[in-house]
Structure 1
Amino acid sequence: MKASELRGKDVAALEKEVTDLLKAHFGLRMQKATQQLTNHTVLGKTRRDIARAKTILNEKKGAAK
Protein backbone atom coordinates (compact mmCIF):
# COMPACT_ATOMS: atom_id res chain seq x y z
CA MET A 1 0.00 0.00 0.00
CA LYS A 2 1.30 3.44 -0.90
CA ALA A 3 1.79 6.20 1.64
CA SER A 4 -0.43 8.53 -0.38
CA GLU A 5 -3.33 6.08 -0.01
CA LEU A 6 -2.76 5.85 3.73
CA ARG A 7 -2.57 9.63 4.16
CA GLY A 8 -6.09 9.93 2.74
CA LYS A 9 -7.54 7.83 5.57
CA ASP A 10 -8.60 9.05 8.99
CA VAL A 11 -7.21 7.81 12.31
CA ALA A 12 -9.87 5.11 12.85
CA ALA A 13 -9.34 3.70 9.36
CA LEU A 14 -5.57 3.67 9.87
CA GLU A 15 -5.93 1.79 13.16
CA LYS A 16 -8.13 -0.79 11.42
CA GLU A 17 -5.58 -1.05 8.60
CA VAL A 18 -2.77 -1.72 11.09
CA THR A 19 -4.75 -4.46 12.84
CA ASP A 20 -5.65 -6.05 9.50
CA LEU A 21 -2.02 -5.99 8.41
CA LEU A 22 -0.88 -7.49 11.71
CA LYS A 23 -3.40 -10.34 11.32
CA ALA A 24 -2.25 -10.92 7.74
CA HIS A 25 1.39 -10.94 8.84
CA PHE A 26 0.61 -13.46 11.57
CA GLY A 27 -1.08 -15.72 9.02
CA LEU A 28 1.92 -15.48 6.73
CA ARG A 29 4.28 -16.34 9.58
CA MET A 30 2.19 -19.42 10.37
CA GLN A 31 2.29 -20.45 6.72
CA LYS A 32 6.06 -20.08 6.77
CA ALA A 33 6.33 -22.18 9.93
CA THR A 34 4.27 -24.98 8.38
CA GLN A 35 6.21 -24.66 5.10
CA GLN A 36 3.12 -23.67 3.10
CA LEU A 37 4.41 -20.24 2.09
CA THR A 38 5.90 -20.20 -1.39
CA ASN A 39 6.60 -16.48 -1.82
CA HIS A 40 8.70 -15.31 1.12
CA THR A 41 9.01 -11.75 -0.14
CA VAL A 42 5.44 -11.11 0.92
CA LEU A 43 6.56 -11.23 4.57
CA GLY A 44 8.88 -8.28 4.11
CA LYS A 45 6.32 -6.31 2.13
CA THR A 46 3.71 -6.82 4.84
CA ARG A 47 6.17 -5.79 7.54
CA ARG A 48 7.03 -2.61 5.65
CA ASP A 49 3.33 -1.85 5.10
CA ILE A 50 2.75 -2.18 8.85
CA ALA A 51 5.60 0.21 9.57
CA ARG A 52 4.36 2.67 6.95
CA ALA A 53 0.82 2.63 8.35
CA LYS A 54 2.04 3.04 11.94
CA THR A 55 4.26 5.96 10.95
CA ILE A 56 1.42 7.82 9.27
CA LEU A 57 -0.91 7.00 12.17
CA ASN A 58 1.58 8.50 14.63
CA GLU A 59 1.96 11.58 12.43
CA LYS A 60 -1.80 12.10 12.39
CA LYS A 61 -2.12 11.56 16.14
CA GLY A 62 0.72 14.02 16.76
CA ALA A 63 -0.86 16.64 14.52
CA ALA A 64 -4.19 16.30 16.35
CA LYS A 65 -2.64 17.27 19.69
Structure 2
Amino acid sequence: MKAAELKDKTPEQLREQLVALKKEAFNLRFQQATGQIESTARMRAVRKDVARVLTVMNQKAAAAAQSN
Protein backbone atom coordinates (compact mmCIF):
# COMPACT_ATOMS: atom_id res chain seq x y z
CA MET A 1 0.00 0.00 0.00
CA LYS A 2 1.37 3.36 -1.01
CA ALA A 3 0.81 6.65 0.77
CA ALA A 4 -0.38 8.24 -2.48
CA GLU A 5 -3.25 5.73 -2.60
CA LEU A 6 -4.21 6.62 0.95
CA LYS A 7 -4.22 10.38 0.33
CA ASP A 8 -7.05 9.95 -2.18
CA LYS A 9 -9.31 8.27 0.39
CA THR A 10 -11.82 9.99 2.64
CA PRO A 11 -11.31 10.03 6.42
CA GLU A 12 -14.08 7.44 6.82
CA GLN A 13 -12.38 5.10 4.34
CA LEU A 14 -9.09 5.59 6.20
CA ARG A 15 -10.74 4.64 9.50
CA GLU A 16 -12.19 1.51 7.91
CA GLN A 17 -8.77 0.62 6.49
CA LEU A 18 -7.19 1.14 9.91
CA VAL A 19 -9.72 -1.17 11.59
CA ALA A 20 -9.12 -3.85 8.97
CA LEU A 21 -5.35 -3.61 9.37
CA LYS A 22 -5.54 -3.80 13.15
CA LYS A 23 -7.73 -6.90 12.92
CA GLU A 24 -5.22 -8.48 10.56
CA ALA A 25 -2.37 -7.61 12.92
CA PHE A 26 -4.24 -9.24 15.80
CA ASN A 27 -4.86 -12.38 13.76
CA LEU A 28 -1.20 -12.55 12.75
CA ARG A 29 -0.09 -12.20 16.38
CA PHE A 30 -2.50 -14.96 17.35
CA GLN A 31 -1.16 -17.22 14.60
CA GLN A 32 2.39 -16.55 15.73
CA ALA A 33 1.56 -17.40 19.32
CA THR A 34 0.02 -20.70 18.28
CA GLY A 35 2.81 -21.51 15.81
CA GLN A 36 0.55 -21.41 12.74
CA ILE A 37 1.98 -18.34 11.01
CA GLU A 38 3.16 -18.88 7.46
CA SER A 39 4.68 -15.50 6.59
CA THR A 40 6.31 -13.53 9.38
CA ALA A 41 7.16 -10.77 6.90
CA ARG A 42 3.45 -9.95 6.64
CA MET A 43 3.48 -8.83 10.29
CA ARG A 44 6.03 -6.15 9.52
CA ALA A 45 4.16 -5.03 6.40
CA VAL A 46 0.90 -4.69 8.34
CA ARG A 47 2.59 -2.62 11.07
CA LYS A 48 4.02 -0.29 8.43
CA ASP A 49 0.64 -0.01 6.70
CA VAL A 50 -0.98 0.95 10.01
CA ALA A 51 1.66 3.65 10.45
CA ARG A 52 1.03 4.95 6.93
CA VAL A 53 -2.72 5.17 7.51
CA LEU A 54 -2.23 6.99 10.81
CA THR A 55 0.23 9.41 9.21
CA VAL A 56 -2.15 10.28 6.39
CA MET A 57 -5.03 10.69 8.86
CA ASN A 58 -2.93 13.08 10.96
CA GLN A 59 -1.85 15.04 7.89
CA LYS A 60 -5.47 15.44 6.79
CA ALA A 61 -6.50 16.53 10.29
CA ALA A 62 -3.69 19.10 10.44
CA ALA A 63 -4.61 20.44 7.02
CA ALA A 64 -8.25 20.74 8.05
CA ALA A 65 -7.28 22.55 11.26
CA GLN A 66 -5.12 25.01 9.35
CA SER A 67 -7.81 25.81 6.84
CA ASN A 68 -10.26 26.81 9.60
TM-score, normalised to structure 2's length? 0.91
Q: CA RMSD in A?
A: 0.6
Residues matched between the structures, number: 65
Paired amino acid for 1:43: M
User: How many percent identity over aligned positions?
Assistant: 38
CA shift for structure 1 position 63: 0.8
- Residue 59 of structure 1 and its aligned partner are, at CA, apart by 0.4
1-side partners of 2:59 and 2:4: how far apart? 13
Pair 1:17-2:12 in alignment:
no
Distance in 2, matches of 1:38 and 1:20, equals 19
Q: Which runs of 4+ in 1 moved over 4 A?
A: none
Structure showing greater Rg: 2
Q: Is 1:7 paired with 2:1? A: no
TM-score (norm 1): 0.95
- Tell me, in whole angstroms, the C-alpha distance in 2 between the residues paired with 1:30 and 1:63: 37
Tell me the distance in 1 between the aligned counterparts of 2:58 and 2:12. 12
Give the gaps of 5 or more residues in structure 1.
Answer: none
Query: What is the identity, as a one-letter code, of the residue corresponding to 1:11?
Result: P
- Runs of 5+ consecutive residues of structure 2 not aligned to the other structure: none
